[in-house]
C-alpha cells in the first residue's frame, strides 16, 4: 500500500480530463500498450477471451465492465443495459458466471433508488450468476449497504459486498455481514480517505485486515480474501490450516495482471483463486488507482510509452 500522499496525487490525476483523453488514445491501442497490463480490453469479446485463458490455467474469474460515477439517469440505464448484454455474452460463452459492478455506475450519485432498481434488473437477469457490489469511496459506504441490505431483505442471495480494512467502521460491518450470512470480499481499500474515517498507516490497515479476515474465515459465509500481499496471504493460509478450515470454504482474489506468479503458486497448493478482470472503454480511473498503489508501475508505463514511440 502506497503512502497516503502519493495515493492522493493519483486520485487527483484520475480526475484530469486532458490526461484522460491522452491516455485513452494510447493506452489500449496495441497489444503491448501500457493499459493492457491491467485491463483485459475494451470489448466483451476481449474480456471473454481473457476469462477463458484464466480458466484454462485453473483460476476462476469475475468480470467487471468498467465505469463509475455516471452523472445522469440515462447513462446509468445504458450501463445497466450493457451489464445485461454482458450476462448474455457470458452465458453464451459458457464461462464462469461471476460479475463485479459499482453502484455509482448504475446511478447511485444521481439517485439511490435508480441504482437499487438497476441492480435489481441485473440480479433478475443474472440467473446462476454471483454478483459482487464493489465498494467505492467512503461517502458511498452507507448508501451501498442500504441498497445491498434492501435487496437482501427482498430475498436476493446471489449478491455480495466488499469491506475495506482501511475504514475504522469495518470491524462492526464484518460482524453485521456475518450475522446476515452475506458473502464478503475483504480488501485493504483503494481510495484516499480522511483520517476521521480511515487508518492512515500501512501497519494499522494490515493489522485490521488480519483481524477481519480471521472473523470472516471463522464466522462468515464463503469469504473472499482479496489481496496480493504475501504477508496477508501467509496469515490466511496459517490461520485456516490451524483451524481446520478447508480450501473450499473461502477463496483468494487478485487483480488481472498483478502477481501472476503468486496466483499460480496458490492454485498449485490447492487454493481457489479468482481473478478480477476489468474491461471496457472507461478504464482510466481504475488504471490510475493501480498506478497509485505502486510507483514502480509508473516506470513501467513510461517505458512502454517510450518503446511505442521508438
Ligand atoms: P498492498 O497494497 O500492501 O500490496 C502488496 C503487494 O502487492 C505489493 O508489494 C505489490 O507486490 C503488489 N501490488 C499491490 N498493488 C499493486 C499494483 N497496483 N501493481 C503491482 N503490484 C501491486 N478496493 C476497493 O476499495 N474496493 C473494491 O471493491 C475493491 N475490489 C478489489 C477486488 C480485488 C479482487 C482485489 C484484489 C482488490 C480490490 N480492491 C478494491 C483494491 C484493494 O483495496 C487494494 O487497493 C489493492 O488490492 C492493493 O492492496 P493489496 O492488498 O494488494 O496490498
pLDDT over 80 at 11, yes or no? no
Partners of 100 in beta bridges: 64, 132
Instruction: Please report which confidence band the pLDDT of residue 288 belongs to, taking 50, 70 and 90 as the band edges.
Output: confident
Cα 74 from Cα 61, distance rounded (Å): 29
Active site residues: 134, 185
pLDDT tens for residues 106-155? 999 999 899 999 999 999 999 999 999 999 999 999 999 999 999 999 99
* pLDDT at 107 (0 to 100): 95
Secondary element (H or E) of residue 260: helix 260-268
Ligand 1: which atom is nearest the Cα of residue 232? 51
- Look at ligand 1, atom 30, and give the residue with the nearest C-alpha: 134
Distance 188 CA to ligand 1 centre (A): 7
Distance 293 CA to ligand 1 centre (A): 7
Pocket of ligand 1 (CB under 6 A): 1, 134-135, 162, 164, 187-191, 226-229, 253-255, 258-259, 276, 290, 293-294, 297
pLDDT tens for residues 33-78? 888 989 999 999 999 999 999 999 999 999 999 988 899 999 999 9
- Look at ligand 1, atom 45, and give the residue with the nearest C-alpha: 190
Cα 275 from Cα 258, distance rounded (Å): 9
Cα 149 from Cα 61, distance rounded (Å): 25
Distance 47 CA to ligand 1 centre (A): 20
CATH number for region 40-282: 3.20.20.220
pLDDT over 60 at 2, yes or no? no
Q: What is the DSSP string of 201-224?
A: SHHHHHHHHHHHHHHHHHHSSS-E
pTM to 2 decimal places: 0.94
C-alpha cell of 292?
497509485
Amino acid at each position: 500500500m502506497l503512502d497516503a500522499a502519493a495515493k492522493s496525487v493519483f486520485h487527483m490525476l484520475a480526475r484530469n480530463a486532458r490526461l484522460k483523453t491522452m491516455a485513452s488514445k494510447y493506452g489500449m491501442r496495441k497489444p503491448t500498450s501500457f493499459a493492457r497490463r491491467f485491463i483485459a480490453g475494451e470489448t466483451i469479446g476481449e474480456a471473454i477471451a481473457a476469462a477463458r485463458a484464466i480458466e484454462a490455467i485453473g483460476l476462476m474469474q469475475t468480470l467487471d465492465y468498467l465505469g463509475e460515477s455516471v452523472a445522469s439517469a440515462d447513462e446509468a440505464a445504458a450501463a445497466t443495459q450493457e451489464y445485461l448484454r454482458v450476462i448474455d455474452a457470458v452465458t453464451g460463452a459458457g464461462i464462469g458466471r461471476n460479475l463485479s459492478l459499482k453502484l455509482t455506475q448504475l446511478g447511485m450519485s444521481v439517485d439511490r433508488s435508480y441504482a437499487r432498481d438497476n441492480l435489481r434488473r441485473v440480479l433478475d437477469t443474472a440467473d446462476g450468476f454471483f454478483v459482487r457490489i464493489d465498494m467505492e469511496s467512503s461517502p458511498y459506504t452507507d448508501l451501498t449497504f442500504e441498497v445491498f441490505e434492501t435487496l437482501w431483505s427482498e430475498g436476493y442471495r446471489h449478491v455480495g459486498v466488499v469491506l475495506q480494512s482501511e475504514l475504522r467502521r469495518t470491524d462492526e460491518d464484518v460482524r453485521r455481514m456475518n450475522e446476515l450470512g452475506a458473502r464478503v470480499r475483504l480488501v485493504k481499500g483503494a481510495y484516499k480517505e480522511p483520517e476521521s474515517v480511515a487508518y492512515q498507516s500501512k501497519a494499522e490497515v494490515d493489522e485490521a485486515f488480519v483481524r477481519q479476515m480471521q472473523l470472516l474465515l471463522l464466522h462468515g459465509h464463503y469469504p473472499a480474501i482479496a489481496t496480493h500481499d504475501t504477508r496477508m496471504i501467509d496469515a490466511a493460509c496459517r490461520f485456516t490450516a490451524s483451524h481446520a478450515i478447508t480450501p473450499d470454504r473461502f477463496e483468494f482474489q487478485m487483480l488481472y495482471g498483478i502477481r501472476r506468479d503468486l496466483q499460480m503458486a496458490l492454485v498449485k497448493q490447492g487454493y481457489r483463486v479468482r481473478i478480477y478482470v476489468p474491461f471496457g472503454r472507461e478504464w482510466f480511473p481504475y488504471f490510475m488507482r493501480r498506478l497509485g498503489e505502486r510507483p514502480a508501475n509508473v516506470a513501467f508505463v513510461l517505458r512502454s510509452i517510450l518503446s511505442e514511440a521508438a
